Structure 1
């Protein structure tokens, strides 16, 4: 491994939205995890990159209790091993382990059959920056005020809706724990952008309701990372808040 350095400034918010009775989303920021919370304002933390730092959002599926368990397990496991992850192979391995662990739990508890979770995030270390995802939660790199999606949506391609906007679906083709009948294959890649870099990670509770153009505009107009994350959350709520909403903005400096 190379010599790590610098720090990452993370601003995050996770909320149940305007409709769902509970929050099945969870987030991980280095050794810190937040699961099942209902935050009305973002939290901010500064993490040294003296050792690997993992940052991710997870969106639980399979019903209230099952989804909460799956997403919470995923972020806890990532927090436990994050400092030992060195690159794509390690990321793929831990995501594979989490997938198997969630499946095993569902087999032992039939009431949790079909439980799973999406995940999208970045690993920052001395060798560089790596993105990863399973499902339809997203990781974007912020480039000159524009959002470039790094993650690859595990969802079927649909024709545009009647108003010309991209169609959205709650159906996903794979998740951690929920890829029944097939092998889960995570998307993992190196982010070739040099530091300093900025990333936005979110569950589909944001990306399904707020267009990329709208997100870019709000981030450009915000006076701080906290204001940007709050504005994005507020836009999703005003758009109906039909799902849980998790947002993480991270700057490696």
Structure 2
């Protein structure tokens, strides 16, 4: 599971799930993007940290073509601009630009009205690690076998579950693009751990279906990052797989 210093190992899987006809999720890993794919096994890549690096998941909203276009646009723009992002203010500005671009595209194509995407990820730089999100996709810091949520869900508060299963809602209060009337305000923060670390990013196709403690147990019990990501995906599939599923397990050496 290790990675050399000065590099970032990313293990990724994005899949349509067991119910949806298409995958409207997308992921970005540095200059690499994957959109609309139906991966059967995780892929692992090791990226040099010679310049700022963005890793993120995006979950498209607005129906089959529209959501896919929005999430793909978001990850492409992050891939293009990631190396120039020097800190949280730059991340916030980029996300606001992406929001404007998606809304502009939707305004010019009535069939894409309301199209949008969530996003959750990390900017890894020489000076620190910064998390960001819009919507209900999530970023967790993995430390000592525990997952600590860094991202802030843009969804209404729900009463606690009586059976221990995740409490979920399909309603989100903001996204990149979308039909919300209020200005979009990204959540951006600094991870308290400045150097080496590990993070899990996922769309709600995982976090809505697999409890946090179960995700921790799966990661701890898997012999490799590839096995961990595959087993997380399998757990979501076993729990109905009712949504697209995207998972990134990221380690900075």
TM over 0.5: yes
Give the direction of change, closer, same or farther, for the CA distance of 1:245–1:166 in structure 2 (3 Å limit).
closer
Contact 2:12 2:247 in 1 (8 A): yes
Partner SS state of residue 118, structure 1: strand
Contact 1:59 1:71 in 2 (8 A): yes
CA distance in 2, matches of 1:203, 1:241: 12
Q: 1:166 Cα shift?
A: 4.2
Contact 1:61 1:67 in 2 (8 A): yes
Contact 2:127 2:194 in 1 (8 A): no
Q: 1:158 maps to which residue?
A: 158
Partner SS state of residue 129, structure 2: strand
Number of equivalences: 249
Segment of structure 1 superposing worse, 188-197 or 127-136: 188-197
Contact 2:166 2:208 in 1 (8 A): no
Q: 1:237 Cα shift?
A: 0.3
Q: 2:231 maps to which residue?
A: 231
* TM-score, normalisation: structure 2: 0.97
Q: 1:77 maps to which residue?
A: 77
* TM-score, normalisation: structure 1: 0.97
Partner SS state of residue 177, structure 2: coil
Alignment of 1:120-159 (within 5 A): 120-159=120-159
Contact 1:173 1:179 in 2 (8 A): no
CA distance in 1, matches of 2:106, 2:70: 9
1:220 aligns with 2:220: yes
Contact 2:142 2:198 in 1 (8 A): yes
Gaps of 5+ in 2: none
Q: 1:179 Cα shift?
A: 4.9
Partner SS state of residue 11, structure 1: strand
Contact 1:23 1:68 in 2 (8 A): yes
Root mean square deviation of aligned Cα: 1.0
Segment of structure 1 superposing worse, 140-149 or 166-175: 166-175
Q: 1:188 maps to which residue?
A: 188
Alignment of 1:1-253 (within 5 A): 6-253=6-253
CA distance in 2, matches of 1:80, 1:228: 29
CA distance in 2, matches of 1:129, 1:179: 31
Alignment deviations for residues 164-188 of structure 1 (CA, whole Å, 9 cap, x no partner) = 5442101000000015211000000
Gaps of 5+ in 1: none
Segment of structure 1 superposing worse, 171-180 or 35-44: 171-180
